[in-house]
């Protein structure tokens, strides 16, 4: 059995690169702008290049939770994927009991679409998943104060 440090090392040196190289997804570190301390990650998975659809996933360090980091990182990733990369749809799936992830999805601009019964698993076993999605038309334009005053 791997230790947590070995798990992290494997993720950073092997697993994340394998996902990117396979075209399945890409993962980004979320860091504190002042200290560069790791606060979490956000990334894409299950990317369908033909349909231009992907799924977002994230985690936030326990000490950094409750600050809106997951929502902010997810919103930035959605903007990049849908506007800059011209994807059509981004999905997010959260366990029905994971209210923090559901709140982050809504705060990031995602819309709740439905429940996939027995579709996921967590450390306690099988769970239902709530599906959220966002489309390019759902994105709020970047705040451009210079244009607003002209």
Distance from C-alpha of 98 to C-alpha of 45, rounded to nearest angstrom: 19
Find out whether 130 and 93 touch, Cβ atoms under 8 Å.
yes
Q: What is the mean pLDDT of the chain?
A: 86
State pLDDT tens for residues 107-127.
999 999 999 999 999 889 999
Q: What pTM value is reported for the model?
A: 0.81
Residue 2 confidence (pLDDT): 47
Q: Are 109 and 78 in contact (CB under 8 A)?
A: yes
The CA distances from residue 122 to 96, 109, 125, 131, in Å, are 11, 25, 5, 16
Under a CB-based contact definition with an 8 Å cutoff, are residues 28 and 7 in contact? no
**Mode of pairing for the β-strands spanning 89-95 and 53-60:** parallel
């Amino acid at each position: 059995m791997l230790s947590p440090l070995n798990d992290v090392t494997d993720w950073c040196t092997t697993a994340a690169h394998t996902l990117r190289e396979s075209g399945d997804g890409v993962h980004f570190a979320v860091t504190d702008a002042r200290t560069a301390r790791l606060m979490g990650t956000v990334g894409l998975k299950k990317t369908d290049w033909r349909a231009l659809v992907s799924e977002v996933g994230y985690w936030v360090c326990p000490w950094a939770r409750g600050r809106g980091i997951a929502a902010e990182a997810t919103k930035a990733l959605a903007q990049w994927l849908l506007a800059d990369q011209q994807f059509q749809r981004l999905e997010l799936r959260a366990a029905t009991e994971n209210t923090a992830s559901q709140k982050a999805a809504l705060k990031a601009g995602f819309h709740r679409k439905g429940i996939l019964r027995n579709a996921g698993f967590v450390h306690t076993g099988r769970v239902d998943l709530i599906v959220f999605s966002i489309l390019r038309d759902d994105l709020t334009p970047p705040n451009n104060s210079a244009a607003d005053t002209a």
